[in-house]
């Protein structure tokens, strides 16, 4: 069986526009989280709560990157394509935080959050 790449190469797109992905791509698209509940007499079960799915990454702050354009992203479709063949899809997405620009490394950190998400 031929070897398949596991990590290292990835792509990030918002509404079809590909951005220069610098690194630190993190995909956290679970729609729910569970927290165990323990009582004095043992484990009672768990609480399940909805959570906001997100994809975070660092982009290269090139002259083609508009911070105003990033800030204006609302109701977008965001995809993160991983080297292992998996693709995460974030729907009705927006950028959620202030964009910190690291001038010494020419990179900007971005967090996309959305109303729903799934693996393709």
Whether 4 has a pLDDT exceeding 80, the answer reads no
Residue 4 covered by a domain: no
Distance (Å, whole) CA 95 – CA 55: 10
Query: 117: closest CA among 95, 90, 82, 86?
Result: 90
**Residue 61: domain span:** 10-119
Whether 12 has a pLDDT exceeding 90, the answer reads yes
Residue 68 covered by a domain: yes
Residue 71 covered by a domain: yes
Residue 55 covered by a domain: yes
Strands (E) located in 40-86: 42-50, 54-60, 76-82
Burial class (CB in 10 A: 0-12, 13-18, 19+), 3: exposed
Query: 111: closest CA among 98, 46, 45?
Result: 98
Residue 17 covered by a domain: yes
Residue 5 covered by a domain: no
Residue 110 covered by a domain: yes
pTM of this prediction? 0.89
| pLDDT tens, position by position, 22-44 | 989 999 999 999 999 999 999 99
Token pair 């190469």 in the structure block, residue: 9
Burial class (CB in 10 A: 0-12, 13-18, 19+), 5: exposed
Residue 1 covered by a domain: no
Distance (Å, whole) CA 63 – CA 3: 37
Number of domains in the chain: 1
| pLDDT tens, position by position, 33-84 | 999 999 999 999 999 999 999 999 999 999 999 999 999 999 999 999 999 9
Q: What is the CATH number of the domain that holds 93?
A: 2.40.30.200
Whether 89 has a pLDDT exceeding 80, the answer reads yes
């Amino acid at each position: 069986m031929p070897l398949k790449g596991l990590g290292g190469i990835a792509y990030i797109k918002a509404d079809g526009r590909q951005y220069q992905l610098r690194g630190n791509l993190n995909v956290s698209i679970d729609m729910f989280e569970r927290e165990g509940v323990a009582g004095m007499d043992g484990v009672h079960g768990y609480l399940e709560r909805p959570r906001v799915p997100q994809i975070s990454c660092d982009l290269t702050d090139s002259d083609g990157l508009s911070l105003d354009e990033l800030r204006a992203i609302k109701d977008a479709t965001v995809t993160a394509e991983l080297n292992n063949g998996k693709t995460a899809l974030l729907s009705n997405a927006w950028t959620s935080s202030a964009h910190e620009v690291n001038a010494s490394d020419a990179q900007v950190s971005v967090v996309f959050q959305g109303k729903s998400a799934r693996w393709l």
